[in-house]
Amino acid sequence: MSLKKEDLESKLKESGISSDDLTQILNYYDDAEKYRNLKEKMNEIEADSYLLDRLEACDTSGAAEILRNFLSSKE
């Protein structure tokens, strides 16, 4: 559902939300979205690191080190 500008302004006046309040809400939303994306990336990195550590524990040919170097160069 898309509101017209007049409808939105009317709803804002009725609710007592100011333009500054709306700006702050949108900023919080953007910050929360950035945090979720960062948290997801950190979880991926932790999972990759765990798997590489496990591979290194039983690797004798050096493949794990090569793979770790390759993945770190992608960041």
Q: What is the pLDDT of residues 1-38, one digit of tens each?
A: 576 878 777 877 888 877 788 788 888 888 889 999 99
For residue 3, being part of any structural domain is answered with no
Q: Name the one residue in this structure whose structure tokens are 């793979």.
A: 67
The answer to whether residue 55 sits within a structural domain is yes
**Per the structure block, which two tokens stand in for 44?**
């991926």
Residue 34 gets which letter from DSSP? H
Q: Are 71 and 47 in contact, with CB atoms under 8 Å apart?
A: no
Domain annotation covers residue 39: yes
Q: Taking 60 as the threshold, does the pLDDT of residue 69 lie above it? A: yes
> Does 67 fall in a domain?
yes
46 located within any domain: yes
**Domain of residue 42, residue span:** 13-74
Report d(CA 22, CA 30) in Å as an integer: 12
For residue 18, being part of any structural domain is answered with: yes
Q: How many domains does the chain have?
A: 1
Judge whether 1 lies within some domain: no
Write down the pTM of the prediction: 0.46
Question: Is the residue at 56 inside a domain?
Answer: yes
Q: What is the pLDDT of residue 35?
A: 92
